[in-house]
A and B are shown apart, each in its own frame.
Chain A
Amino acid sequence: MVERRPWLDLATHLLLALSALSLLLPVWLAFVAATHDLAGVNRMPINWLPGAHLWENVVAAWERGHFAQRFLTSLGVALGVTIGKIALAMLAAFAIVFFEWRARMVVFWIIFITLMLPLEVRIVPTYAVAANALRPFQAILDVTGLTGLIEAVAGIRISLEWQMLNSTVGLVLPLVATATGTFLYRQFFLTIPEELVEAAKMDGAGPLRFLRDVLMPLSRTTMAALATILFVYSWNQYLWPLLVTTEPDRATVMVELARMVPRGDSLPEWNIVMAGALLVMLPPLAIVVLMQRWFVRGLVQTEK
């Protein structure tokens, strides 16, 4: 604080309290709705204070949404995306920053262009690829005439197929295919002093040894920051899981939540739906509250 201004300080607190409360208000109303029975939630005017039925509603939502299974699926996806992205990002950034090779800049640009287009704008063809992940390679074989050649020579018709719908791999891989983490890791690697590399080389450490024993321990904070935002990002995914999980049993929590409201004109059981909404938002909320420092750091760094 630069100077004492008691009145302005008071106004500041009032403004901030008002904003924090209005941000909280919808979630508070959802919480209140989740603590009433069906009659209480449909009462007019609505209840502003919690009732006594929270546990019943949470249990009903948990069972109706098969959340035990859905939480496992979502956890698998979130961990898969987080670990996969961090591992790929670290290896690729390592190759781009610490190696001298001719294709370096080309590879750099090939990877960084993927930052431009989010998954949403290429969703239809990506779905086609998930239906058969080897489709690009099959198409290449067909176009180059290799399929015909191999058929003529060996008598085998090559038809590559790897169907990813309804599998964890299919849920995870397309979400991994961007360069957010690579960019962050590159920025971090560029701050590593050259002396460290020279010292490692002088001591006879090879590149992989250098990565494992020097860079990985040094990048712990980067890794933590990246992990928090990637976990939140992938847990909250909706469009891609909605498309890929064509079997209801393979759905993630978000897809399941959407299904809890019947389409059409019938009034949903809001008390149970709201309990479900509160349940699915708990894990990312816990991450942000408990790891606030890493989260803020990751958020600010990945966008720059």
Chain B
Amino acid sequence: MQRRATFRSPWLPWMLVLPQLLIIFVFFYWPTGEAFQWAFTLEQPWGGGREWVGWQNFAEVFSSQHYWSSVRISILYAVATSALAIGIGLLLALFVDREVAGSRGWRLALIWPYAIAAPAIGMIFRFVFDARAGVFSLFNAMMPGLWDPSLNGTHALLMLILAGAWQLVAYNFVFFLAGLQSIPRGLNEAAAMDGAGPLRRMRDIQMPLLAPTFFFLVIINLTDSFTNSFGLVDIMTAGGPARATDLMVYKIYSDGFKGLDYSGAAAQSIVLMGLVVALTFIQFRFVERKMHYR
């Protein structure tokens, strides 16, 4: 990537990157470093600064039953949301790519959900699935307790997964469609000449060629479900009922800002950072290297 024709100046490049470096130093590197510092120290109750406590904060987090249940729920939420969103996104892209009449219109009809903010769609799902006002109110009147996300943890988690998947479908659809459209048309046409029908071509040509996009989206969807679910949880369930939807990112927020346990929240942040970095690493190390069809 080194270019031959470049400018030279002892100070100008520094001036150009300085604003960006300053901002990421203050709002990225410093807080990240501080998260590590807080995770290994404990604020003294009557002043006197922070005392080094080694792994004690992590030991406390890991010995908490609530933490492990939060991890379990987060993994369940991330896997279910990603699977739903990727499956539906792939199916829709395969069919829109057939270029039936009006494909452009279909594209718009399927991507707009990406523009909707988590709080707005969270609020809407909360209303639609509300036990007293939503679509289930009639069944609840006939059979009380049939559906109530404010009391039943499973219902609440299910509602959250549906909302999360609803949000991600459009994103996956856009990427699958872009992936499909970069497949050389000749391949598809040659297969059609050989007598392969549209469904056969989807299975044997398009899907294998989409493998890089697919794995890329798996990683992005999982990462997004782990880190970006705060808005939905806070609006729809606030972690309840009885911690049934207390996802990791929400627990960091509630322990840190409601419980004022900065060290515990910092230790949990480090674990979540580790998870996100590991997912990114998998993406770069395995997915981007091994998937080469060109």
Contacts and interface: CB of A to CB of B under 8 A. Distances in A.
B175 A107 contact: no
Contacts of A107: 17, 21
Interface in B92-146: 92, 95-96, 98-101, 106-121, 123-128, 130, 132-135, 137-138, 141
A153 interface: no
Given A42-B132, A99-B12, A288 B266 contact: no
Nearest to A189: B3
A296 B92 contact: no
Contact of A33 (B8, B20, B88, B127): B127
Nearest to A21: B109
Interface string A71-97: 000000000000000001101101111
A177 B28 contact: yes
Given A27-B124, A126-B31, A257-B119, A194 B3 contact: yes
A67 to B, nearest CB: 13
B265 interface: yes
Contact of B118 (A99, A136, A198, A238): A238
A207 B12 contact: yes
Contacts of A236: 115-119
A111 B17 CA distance: 9
Interface of A: 1-3, 5, 8-9, 12-13, 15-16, 19-20, 23-24, 26-27, 29-30, 33, 41-42, 44-46, 88-89, 91-92, 94-101, 103-104, 107, 110-111, 114, 116-118, 120-129, 133, 135-136, 173-174, 176-179, 182, 190, 194-195, 197-198, 201, 206-208, 210, 232, 235-236, 238-239, 242-243, 254, 257-258, 261, 263, 267, 270, 273-274, 277, 280-281, 284-285, 287-289, 292, 295-296, 299-300, 303
A289 B253 contact: no
Contact of B133 (A118, A238, A267): A267
Interface of B: 1, 3-10, 12-14, 16-17, 19-21, 23-28, 30-32, 34-35, 38, 88, 91-92, 95-96, 98-101, 106-121, 123-128, 130, 132-135, 137-138, 141, 166, 169-171, 174-175, 178, 188-189, 192, 197-199, 216, 220, 223, 227-228, 230-231, 234-235, 238, 249, 252-253, 256-257, 262, 265-266, 269, 272-273, 276-277, 280
A299 B20 contact: no
Contacts of B3: 97-98, 194, 197
14 contacts: A5-B197, A26-B125, A46-B134, A92-B20, A97-B3, A107-B17, A122-B31, A177-B24, A178-B28, A182-B20, A206-B7, A235-B117, A239-B234, A273-B127
B159 to A, nearest CB: 11
A16 B119 contact: no
B279 to A, nearest CB: 10
B269 A124 contact: yes
Contacts of B25: 136
Contacts, number: 309
A137 to B, nearest CB: 8
Contact of A257 (B120, B198, B277): B120
Contact of A98 (B6, B96, B280): B6
A126 B27 contact: yes
B5 A201 contact: yes
A198 B5 contact: yes
A124 B135 contact: no
B268 to A, nearest CB: 9
Contacts of B272: 120-121
Contacts of B20: 88-89, 91-92, 111, 182
B92 A16 contact: yes
Contact of B27 (A20, A177, A190, A257): A177
A257 B95 CA distance: 36
Nearest to A9: B100
Given A124-B265, A174-B27, A238-B234, A300 B178 contact: yes
Contacts of B198: 2-3, 5, 8
Contacts of A126: 27, 31
A23 B117 contact: no
A207 B8 CA distance: 9
A19 B92 contact: yes
A99 B6 contact: yes
Contact of B166 (A26, A177, A210, A243): A26
A292 B266 CA distance: 40
Contacts of A98: 3, 6-7
A121 B166 CA distance: 23
A124 B266 CA distance: 7
B175 A300 contact: yes
Contacts of A178: 24, 28
B277 A116 contact: yes
Nearest to A239: B230
A260 to B, nearest CB: 8
Contact of B228 (A118, A125, A254): A118
Contacts of B28: 114, 117, 122, 177-178
B115 A29 contact: no
A99 B13 contact: yes
